[in-house]
Amino acid sequence: MTHFSYCLSVRRHLSFLLLAASPALAGCGHALPNIPNFDAAAWRADPYACHNQRRAAVPALLRVKENLYEARADDVNALLGQPDEEELRANTEKVYYYYLEPGTQCAAGHVRSAAPRISLRFGPLGTVTEVLSDPLTPLR
């Protein structure tokens, strides 16, 4: 077997493996169902929670937080909008942060704030592996 035919054979095998694996990788995760009493449009229209619209939506979102596990990043973006902050970690992991109420993040430059937020961690397959939420500040 010549070097050329060997390379061609390896390429053919790799192409087949990639094509065979594509449907399996595309099937990772799941779409998000509708969340009862959750106003996704109001959530997305309140970046950084500066208009204090997200606070009202937090209980409905947290009631079904188990449904967020294994959701794909694209589906999370469609539901919640682009994250207020994103952190990239080793091994292609990332974390999305969404603020839940106004804080110093509402100032010019959107500096990181100690305001309550929800965080969604995505694993190497691009699906949610962890959902954490800070407690909201009690209303007076």
Could you tell me which of 57, 28, 33 has the C-alpha nearest to residue 44? 57
At the top level of CATH, the class of 31-133 is alpha beta
CB 97 within 8 A of CB 87: yes
What is the pLDDT at residue 134? 95
Average pLDDT, 10 consecutive residues per value, the chain (140 residues) = 53 43 50 84 96 95 93 94 94 94 92 94 95 90
Distance, CA of 23 to CA of 4 (rounded, Å) = 30
Domain ranges of the chain: 1-30, 31-133
